[in-house]
Amino acid sequence: MYPLKEILSLLCVDGIGPKTYFQLIQKFGSPQKVLEATSDELKKVPRINNDIIDQINSKSYEKCVSSQFDWIKYSKAKIVSYWDDNYPEILKFIYDPPILLFYFGELSKDDDFSLAVVGTRHPDNYGKRVSKEIAESIAENKITIVSGMARGIDSIAHYSALSKNSRTIAVLGTSLDTIYPAENRSLMKKIQNNGAVMSEFLVGKKMVPGNFVMRNRIIAGLSRGVIVTQASNKSGALITAYNANTQNREVFAIPGNILNNRNGGCHRLIKTGAKLIESFEDIISEFPQLQNKLKKQINWLEENANNIKLTDVEKKVINTLTKNAMHVDDLVFKSECSHLQVMSSLLNLELKGYVKQLPGKHYVRVI
């Protein structure tokens, strides 16, 4: 609707956030008209101070605009504005949606139904295991996982999606030119090859703690529901859950040991209305539209099962398995195949997405 340079020019004025930005557009009609407004006109707008007016009058924002375009060209990043057709539709309806999103990777209509997975930066073994299991179940059903690329639960969520070749989106609390934490540089590259890494922050701007709070509204805003794992009472994940509540999104919490302070935030969420979940099935029960989507996928697999190219042993194994967990020793006995044949077939079937391994050498049939 508006030229990108106009949009970026007004955004480069320090002190103008999303709320003020939309307020100015509503009053003046376009970013360019805001930049052309007189000092007296601007003074009538709430939250517009003399510093903002001086920046507009002196056009000091032009240097910032030039540096943004230079960096985008150099880095081959992409940019999408609130008024563009490929801006995530679900994000337009949150409180203070970001004006611009800078991103690596690709945006996709497949992300229209996404789930966020967030939690502590310092999970224990229980937190790591349960987060991985939930995230992998989401990814196996080809549902995009959204998180913040932080240490701990965020990283586990992204890696779980990537391990299942499913899409994932990382929303940064920094600009795209600042990778935080630095050890996630390789993760960032992997995500952009199978999803997107995005930020609303202008490049070259100083990283401040408040940015991470701001980005949490985007994580929640891109998602239909937020799953919180092992969050303490002071965890930033609770802010994402709060944003989800205010944005009319579902909030799910995974319970933990009541004697461990790491789980206090999740238990507080459950007490105040978040749904306690133990498995992926607990999540999809809240989304009828998702159940219909998954049912169609299962029906397709069942209808085409006979056309799937499998070895004779693989067919025996998959026909012996059911939707209930079966120990590998029982599978060997019932399929009448050798242990080596069964293990080799299970590996191939798991890679193809037809069976799933559970803890304790148990397996279930996916189709």
Domains of the chain: 4-76 (1.10.150), 104-287 (3.40.50.450), 304-365 (1.10.10.10)
In the chain, how long is the greatest CA-to-CA distance?
87
- Per the structure block, which two tokens stand in for 94? 């949150």
This prediction's pTM: 0.79
Residue environment code for 69-85, b if the CB has 16+ CB neighbours within 10 A, otherwise e: eebbeeeebbbbbbeee
pLDDT of residue 334: 87
pLDDT of residue 300: 46
- Per the structure block, which two tokens stand in for 10? 């007004």
Q: How, if at all, do strands 362-365 and 144-147 pair?
A: unpaired
In the chain (367 residues long), the average pLDDT of successive 10-residue segments reads: 94 94 94 95 93 95 96 96 93 93 95 94 93 93 95 97 96 94 95 96 86 93 95 88 90 91 91 92 81 56 58 85 81 86 83 77 79
pLDDT of residue 63: 95
The CA distance from 233 to 227, in Å, is 16
SS3 248: coil
- Per the structure block, which two tokens stand in for 78? 């992409």
Query: Residues 6 or more apart from 352 whose CB is under 8 A from it?
Result: none
> In terms of Cα–Cα distance, which of 149, 155, 169 is closest to 108?
169
SS3 104: strand
The one-letter amino acid code at 180 reads: Y
Note whether 181 and 151 are within 8 A (CB).
Answer: yes
pLDDT of residue 23: 93
**For the chain, how many residues are written?**
367
The one-letter amino acid code at 169 reads: I
SS3 227: strand
Query: Residues 6 or more apart from 233 whose CB is under 8 A from it?
Result: 261, 264, 265, 268
Q: How many CA atoms lie within 13 A of 33 on its CB side?
A: 11
pLDDT of residue 303: 53
- Per the structure block, which two tokens stand in for 180? 């935080």
